[in-house]
Structure 1
C-alpha cells in the first residue's frame, strides 16, 4: 500500500504543475499517476500547428511543468528522481518523476513553491522601478543550474535589434490569416468560462508603447477586447534564454530553466513579458543565433520588470489533466 505522505506529495505535485506557464496558456500536458510515479505527457492536440510546427514551444511549456513537479515534491520533503524522455517508443511521454529520498526543503525551495500559483505572465509595459543587477545575476545562475543560459541584453544596439526583429515578425504574422486565427483560437472573449487560453483582461486594450517598442500578440484581432491601459511604459530588462543544442532534451531543459527563473524572479517582485514572435520564424531565429547569441540557440525572448498588476489566472481542472 502506498505511503500516505508519498500519495499526498504526488497529488500536490500534479496540482502545482498545472500552474506552469505555457505558450498562449495552452496547457499542453497531461499526467498519469501510478502508485509512486508521475508520468508527464505532451498533449499534442494543443500544439500550435502554424506557430510551433516543430513542437519546440510545446516542449518548453512541458519543461516548465516538469520543474514545477520537481519543486512541489521537494516542498513536500522528497528529492525527485527524474527520467527525461524515458521511452523512445512513446515520444509523447516526456518524463517520469517519483519521490526519492526524504529531504527537508530548504528556504530557497520553499520560496519557489510559494510562488507557483502567484506567478503571472505580464503583457504590457512595466513600472519604472529597476531590476537589481544582483537579482539578474541570481536569475542567470538559476538558468545555468538547469542547463540553459539567461543573458540580460543591456547594450542599446542589441536591444534595438531585438525590438526590430520582434516588430518585423509581429507585422508578418499579423498579415497572415493563419497566424491570426491560431492566436485568437487561444484568446478568451470577455466573460468566457474557458479554463485555458489568454483572458481578455490579461492584456491592455491599448498598450503604452515601450521605447524601443516590443509589440505584444494581437489577441484582440478584429475584436475590441482587452483590459484597462497598463500601469507603465517602462521597457524593463530584455533577456535571452538560450541552449547549446536544439533538440527535444534541450527544449525540456529550457522549460525547466525558464520556470526556475520565473519563480525566482516572482519571489523578488519581478515579472516577465514574453516576445517569441521572431523565434517562430526560422530565418529570424537563425539570425539571432549567429548575431546575438554567440552560436547558441535562442529559445525565449523576454522582458523582466516590476509590475503591480495582480490579475487572476485560469487553469484546467485536474479531471481534464490526469489520466
Structure 2
C-alpha cells in the first residue's frame, strides 16, 4: 500500500483538478473540504444563478462535472475513488464525499481523459468544416450511458431547426428581461479584468459567423463590443447537435448529468472536438417541457450542445484552490 502522505497528495491533486471543470457562465459554484482522508464537495449557493437557475439544476450539473474530474484524477494518481452522493439529508449543500480507495492502475483511456482536464475549452461560436467522426459520437454516447445519462444526436434537420428556434426564442425573451441581463453582467468579465471567474472577453468572438440554422449565443459583451477578433473569411458550421437527458429530474440525476457531461467533454477534447452549450431554452419551464415531450421521448433534457472542430485558442480562468476550501 502507498504511504498515507502519498494518499493525501492524491486527494490534493484531485482538488486542484476539480476547479478546471466546466460550469454555467464559469461561476465555479463549488467549495471543498479535506479532512480525515475525505473530500467533501459542496454547492456554493452564493454563486447560484437566482434568475435563470432558481432550482439549482445547472449548479448541480456543474458540481457533477467537478466530481467526475476528481474521480478521474484519483484514478490517474493510482486510487479507485469511493464516492457517496448526497450523503446527509440534513446537509443538502453537501453533494458528495470522495475517498481514495484501493490502489488501482489507470487504463489508457483514463490517462487520456486526465490529460484533457486543463486543456478542454468551451466554444462559443460556429465550428470549422471538418466533421465529427461517427465512431467518436458512438463513444460519447457510451460515455454518457456509463454515468447514468443519455446522449442523443439530433439528426433530422427539422428537429435541429426546432431546437435552434427555441434557443433563439429563449434568448430573445431573456434579453428583454432586466433580471436576466443583470445576472449576465455579474458573470461577464471586461477585457483586462483580473477576476478568476466568469466568462472572459477573450473567450468568445466579437462578431461570430452565423451558423445555419442559427443558434443564438449569449451576449456576454452586453453590446460593449468585447470579444476577440475572429476570422470572417470562411464559413461556420453548426456541428453535431446533441441532447443530454436523464430519466428523472432529481438532484441526484442532475449530478449524474454533470458527470456524464464532463466524461463526454474530456473524451471529445482528446479527439480535437469541442462543445458549445445552449441552455437558454432549458431555463424556461414551458420550453424545457416542450423539448422533453416532443424531442426527448419523455426524458428530461439537461443540456443542449453542439459538437465540432475548432482551431481557436481561448483563455480559461479559474480561482485558486485556496479560494475554494471551506
* TM-score for the superposition, normalised by structure 2: 0.98
CA contact (8 A) 2:200 2:315 kept: no
What is the deviation of 1:229? 2.0
Aligned to 1:245: 248
Partners of 1:230 and 1:95 lie apart in 2 by 43
Q: Provide Cα deviations, 1:261-297, integer angstroms capped at 9, x if missing partner.
A: 0000001110000000000000000000000000000
Aligned to 1:279: 282
Q: Does 1:81 align with 2:113?
A: no
CA contact (8 A) 2:243 2:305 kept: yes
Alignment RMSD = 1.1
CA contact (8 A) 1:125 1:230 kept: no
Q: Does 1:184 align with 2:195?
A: no
Which structure 2 residues correspond to residues 61-100 of structure 1 after superposition, within 5 A? Answer: 61-100=62-101
Partners of 1:92 and 1:17 lie apart in 2 by 17
Aligned to 1:38: 39
Equivalent residue pairs, number: 323
What is the deviation of 1:177? 1.0
What is the deviation of 1:222? 3.4
Partners of 2:321 and 2:197 lie apart in 1 by 13
From the superposition, tell whether residues 230 and 95 of structure 1 become closer, same or farther in structure 2 (CA, over 3 Å): farther
Partners of 1:230 and 1:292 lie apart in 2 by 34
Partners of 1:37 and 1:105 lie apart in 2 by 21
Which structure 2 residues correspond to residues 184-223 of structure 1 after superposition, within 5 A? Answer: 184-223=185-224
Aligned to 1:311: 314
CA contact (8 A) 1:124 1:230 kept: no
SS in 2 for 1:130: coil
Which structure 2 residues correspond to residues 112-127 of structure 1 after superposition, within 5 A? Answer: 112-127=113-128
Q: Provide Cα deviations, 1:72-129, integer angstroms capped at 9, x if missing partner.
A: 0000010000000000000000000000110010000000000000000000010000
Partners of 2:231 and 2:119 lie apart in 1 by 19
Partners of 2:204 and 2:145 lie apart in 1 by 31
Partners of 2:229 and 2:178 lie apart in 1 by 27
CA contact (8 A) 1:204 1:230 kept: no
CA contact (8 A) 2:191 2:202 kept: yes
CA contact (8 A) 1:121 1:271 kept: yes
What is the deviation of 1:319? 1.0
CA contact (8 A) 1:241 1:301 kept: yes
Aligned to 1:57: 58
What is the deviation of 1:230? 5.3
Unmatched 5+ stretches in structure 2:
none
Unmatched 5+ stretches in structure 1:
none
Aligned to 1:11: 12
SS in 1 for 2:135: helix
From the superposition, tell whether residues 230 and 9 of structure 1 become closer, same or farther in structure 2 (CA, over 3 Å): farther
Partners of 1:192 and 1:282 lie apart in 2 by 34
Aligned to 2:140: 139
Partners of 1:71 and 1:161 lie apart in 2 by 36
SS in 1 for 2:275: strand
Partners of 1:122 and 1:195 lie apart in 2 by 18
What is the deviation of 1:35? 3.0
* TM-score for the superposition, normalised by structure 1: 0.98
Q: Does 1:225 align with 2:226?
A: yes
CA contact (8 A) 1:119 1:263 kept: yes
Partners of 1:168 and 1:192 lie apart in 2 by 31
